[in-house]
Amino acid sequence: MNLEHVFVCGHPALDFAATLRARRTAGFEMFVSPERLDAWYLGSGLVDAVSPSQDTDVERAVAVREALYRLFTARRLGAPYDAGALALVNSAARKPAATPQLTADGRWTVATPEAALSSVARLAVELLSGPDAPLLKECGNPECTRVYLDRSRGMRRQWCGMESCGNKIKAAAYRARKKQLRDAG
């Protein structure tokens, strides 16, 4: 499977939670190394530079990611929040976050792994307590477990992203219809 990070969920904290793919099946871990965690922080646009992560930073990030996923799922389903997940996310959010600085060339944000993770946790707190929380949806692809923000008209979006899931499902349905027509004829 591709180790490139994708950002299709409409919010950095949701994209962070989606770094364990295909949770219902085998599960595919994107944070396989400190370098992959750092690549996510940079790719997300939350920071412009991050000091190198260590294995302990990856362990902490994975724990916070799993707590975020539990909180997003609970909010989406209207279920109570897990106390342990709340405590872990709030603890991460209490740490100093990445602080953008203004330079002659524009904004520049340098962070430690802890500060970058705090920024993700703070964004999740804002999302879960803000006006966009009712827009949380899970991808309609049975193999995908990404939670995304549905800002479509009438909240009719079904996929986390057309390229990542929508096209796959639509192509499979098309092939199934064609096969059914061939078999019937």
CA distance linking residue 125 with residue 137, whole number of Å: 17
Domain annotation covers residue 3: no
Domain annotation covers residue 111: yes
pTM: 0.87
Local confidence band at 83 (pLDDT 50, 70, 90 cut-offs) = very high
Local confidence band at 24 (pLDDT 50, 70, 90 cut-offs) = confident
CA distance linking residue 54 with residue 109, whole number of Å: 20
> How many folded domains does the chain comprise?
1
Q: Which amino acid is at 99?
A: T
Residue 112 lies in domain: 12-184
Domain annotation covers residue 4: no
CATH code of residue 128: 1.10.3300.10
Q: Is the pLDDT of residue 6 over 90?
A: no
CA distance linking residue 66 with residue 63, whole number of Å: 5
How many angstroms separate the most distant Cα atoms in the chain? 69
